[in-house]
Amino acid sequence: MKITVDGVPHRAHIKAGENLLDVLRRLGAVSVKRGCSEGYCGTCAILVEGRLLNACLLLASQVQGCKITTAVGIGTIFDPHPIQTALVEEGAVQCGFCTPGWVVATKSLLDQIPDPTDEEARAAMDGNLCRCTGYVKPLAALQNAAATLRKRS
């Protein structure tokens, strides 16, 4: 199977019925986490051709030839995206396990709605569980990142 992950083309051998999360982890995509394995927690959130999906719910064969973006493809520690910067500045990165999913889901939302209302932001982040932050700080970070990105455009 051929896929592009964060701009890097890969050829991967897959087993029948293998899910995409396992393939991504095998390819070294460490920001994609295994949480619930049922699509509820958002820790395996990725963009497939720009569409927000949970890697744990996809068969690897479903994304043959696709471009996949993880949190690392959005920004890195050396070149952070405004979403990542806002999460840090708001103190929304505590244990960090859910952070990559928040980054990817926020990117998806802001690509579609550059100036989301608080209600739109809450609805868009509904698929991301976090036991540490209480959701207030990540949602504030989302709005701060949105404001930063609007100023840049």
User: In the chain, where does the domain assigned CATH 1.10.150.120 lie?
Assistant: 82-152
Q: How far is CA 8 from each of CA 3, 43, 58, 112, 129, rounded to the nearest angstrom?
A: 8, 21, 20, 25, 29
The confidence score (pLDDT) of residue 134 equals 84
Positive or negative torsion for Cα 75, 87, 82, 149: positive
Taking only the tens place, the pLDDT of each residue in 112-134 is 999 999 999 999 999 999 988 88
List the structure tokens of 65.
Answer: 């030839």
Which superfamily does CATH assign the domain made up of 2-74 to?
A: Beta-grasp domain (3.10.20.30)
Taking only the tens place, the pLDDT of each residue in 52-72 is 999 999 999 999 999 999 999
User: In the chain, where does the domain assigned CATH 3.10.20.30 lie?
Assistant: 2-74
Class of domain 82-152: mainly alpha
Sites in the chain below the pLDDT cut of 50: none
